[in-house]
Structure 1
Amino acid sequence: MSAPVILPPARLGILGGGQLGRMFVQAARTMGYTVTVLDPDPDAPAAEFANLHLCAAFDDAEALRQLADSCAAITTEFENVNAESMRWLAQHTVVSPRGECVAVAQDRIREKTFFQQHGLPVAPFLPVTQADDLDSDLSDYLPGILKTARLGYDGKGQQRVRTAEEARAAWQQLGVPCVLEKMLPLQLEISAIVTRAADGQMAVFPIAENQHHQGILDVTLVPARVSTDLAQAAQQAACRVAAALDYVGVLAVEFFVLEDGLLRVNEMAPRPHNSGHYTLDATVSSQFQQQVRAMCGLPPAATDLLRPVAMLNLLGDVWPGAGTDACREPDWQPLQAEAQGFLHLYGKREARIGRKMAHYNLLADQANTAAERVAVLRDTLLQAAGRARKA
């Protein structure tokens, strides 16, 4: 299937005005497009660069009508947007990804079942929609993690359980449909970010290795420290997911690499991803440029890695006085002094502990070297903020 080619200065729309929306808007404006952002937050970070900010709920009928009437194409920055809104918009203008793709990614039960149905290996899992689902033999899923089926992110809505009794108690506490997923012996976690055009053309960025701290992405290394065969297998699996969904846009697929070297699909995000922020400085094109190209009916751009890189997530933790009236900006001089370091601030007005506020890309001859250096820089910022890193 071919899609209409949309060229500048056409107007594009995006549902969501957070940091991903902000970087999308920057890319689109640089490429010559005008952009409308729909977000209920009057201080939405993307609004600073957008031509128009519709400050309304994602299911606001009048705002959706204005988007549909004025935008040649519309996309989203996060999967928890109203899938019905996207389906309605698709009746009036070009929307990518499709609302159905977003609906699959919104629900872990649907997502993991989808992977399984398409022959992609996943960790053993059990859908839990009622208490009786936990009355059977759970030995195949324990020890495990009970995860809410919807709305969980950055480690939220998850509880580790070792026994059937703990699983039942955790479900009673969460009180919503969940997935009980067996914990596997992990070597590391990686992600693949694929762009798929309406005609089926695909391009995959280099595989990223992701290190987390307290459930939130901390550092991404590229290239990932995996074999060429495993990296290619992850890229191929991501392409299979995109093709099976008949996806148009940028799709992130996360994987577990087990201690025995086997690959398991973890989850997907129907949008650019935190682990792909390195593409802003270290690859020929960025994931946000690819997002624009896909929704505009253009072929994917090249994704070659220019130099090894480490991407550091910068949370509100490094802001002195975060979460108080005494909050102040960190001293960015150590980061800005690096000749191959690139700071990306998200323009959020309030810094809070655990809130994603910025990221920093450091290029080097080797990703390991860059990772060691960004860890030192992060600790310098934490110490200046009066906070020590906790394991």
Structure 2
Amino acid sequence: PAASMAALNEHGFIAPPVKALEISQDRLHEKKFIKAQGIETAEFYNIKAPDDITPALAALSGQGILKTRRFGYDGKGQWRLTQKDLAPPIDRPCILEAVIDFDKEISVIIARNTKGETAVYDPIENVHRNHILHTSTAPATLPDTLTQTAQRIATTLADALDYVGVLAVEFFVVGDNLLVNEIAPRVHNSGHLTQDACACGQFEQHIRAILGLPLGDPKLHSRAIMTNLIGDDILDAQTLTPEKNTYLHDYKKDDIRAGRKMGHITRLFPLA
């Protein structure tokens, strides 16, 4: 919680900064912050009570995604609604977002150190199943202009937060436009492929950033596809690793459960 981090910040150096956690843990604050930087997001409305849902849906042409403002991840705390649906019983503040007919989802991982220096990775293309990240591919298939725009937006947000550490910015690609979906003030699931596909992966980069060390090279030396291992997927993973340029990362979790991320596999291919 941001309050705990703020208390610790009184007695030492906290990275990533408390401000980033305060903003990102509340979807309304997050959207407003992103918009304040001149960056586009999906249209959204603040839902303080159930009676706010109907007029907000009408403003969004009759459909939207209702999300709790706090404590939602991997699709939890989200409902897709139309004007024909009964609104779910809500006992906490929410936002209602427009439904975006996107072409693809991407993320950009950026590291920023205590000196304000940045290292930005190539955009990563992400595919979800059942609201959980399934595969990440780098580099994303994008025009150069969108690649540069996505990296510039990530840099703008990191600078605005006076960020230290690794930050992930998630986007919807809609034609020639980018909408920021959310920010994650941490190393990111989609960025796990950087461990194997880059000279300096996101975990090492984070340590370099918070220690004020020179940042490593974020460039890809290989094309990479990362596949998350969810639940029982981990049981079959060992049979895949003999493949050339295939790397298994087993998280060694004791309890295998449906929907739980148990590890990932990264496959490397020559850059075109």
| Structure 2 length-normalised TM | 0.95
Which of the residues 229, 251, 257 maps onto 1:352? 257
In the alignment, residue 249 of structure 1 is paired with which amino acid?
G
1:96 shift after superposition: 0.5
1:100 shift after superposition: 1.8
Asked if 1:272 corresponds to 2:155, the answer is no
Tell me what 2:239 maps to. Answer: 334
1:83 shift after superposition: 1.2
Q: Which runs of 5+ in 2 are unaligned?
A: none
Tell me what 2:114 maps to. Answer: 198
Asked if 1:148 corresponds to 2:68, the answer is yes
**Conserved in 1, the CA contact under 8 Å of 2:57 and 2:82?**
no
Structure with the bigger RCO (C-alpha within 8 Å, sep 6+) is 2
Tell me what 2:224 maps to. Answer: 309
Asked if 1:229 corresponds to 2:145, the answer is yes
Tell me what 2:10 maps to. Answer: 91
In the alignment, residue 157 of structure 1 is paired with which amino acid?
G
CA-to-aligned-CA distance 1:261-314 (integer Å, 9 cap, x gap)? 211000010000000000110001011111111111113211010100000000
How does 1:85-234 map onto structure 2 within 5 Å?
A: 85-136=4-55, 138-141=57-60, 142-163=62-83, 166=85, 169-170=87-88, 173-234=89-150
In the alignment, residue 177 of structure 1 is paired with which amino acid?
P
Whole-Å separation in 1 of the counterparts to 2:25 and 2:63 = 25
1:176 shift after superposition: 1.4
1:150 shift after superposition: 0.5
CA-to-aligned-CA distance 1:342-386 (integer Å, 9 cap, x gap)? 00011111000110000110001369xxxxxxxxxxxxxxxxxxx
Higher Rg? 1
Change (3 A) 1:359 1:317: same
Whole-Å separation in 2 of the counterparts to 1:302 and 1:333 = 31
**Conserved in 2, the CA contact under 8 Å of 1:272 and 1:291?**
yes
Whole-Å separation in 1 of the counterparts to 2:56 and 2:230 = 41
CA-to-aligned-CA distance 1:90-110 (integer Å, 9 cap, x gap)? 222221011121010000000
Whole-Å separation in 1 of the counterparts to 2:209 and 2:90 = 38
Whole-Å separation in 2 of the counterparts to 1:233 and 1:186 = 17
CA-to-aligned-CA distance 1:152-205 (integer Å, 9 cap, x gap)? 001111100121x53x612xx232111100012110000001111122111111
1:117 shift after superposition: 1.2
Whole-Å separation in 1 of the counterparts to 2:52 and 2:32 = 16
Whole-Å separation in 2 of the counterparts to 1:161 and 1:232 = 34
Q: Percent identity?
A: 43
Tell me what 2:267 maps to. Answer: 362
Tell me what 1:62 maps to. Answer: none
**Conserved in 1, the CA contact under 8 Å of 2:81 and 2:87?**
no
RMSD of equivalent CA atoms: 1.5
In the alignment, residue 254 of structure 2 is paired with which amino acid?
R
CA-to-aligned-CA distance 1:228-283 (integer Å, 9 cap, x gap)? 1101100100111111111111100000001x221100001000000000011000
Whole-Å separation in 2 of the counterparts to 1:332 and 1:99 = 38
| Structure 1 length-normalised TM | 0.67
Whole-Å separation in 2 of the counterparts to 1:191 and 1:211 = 11
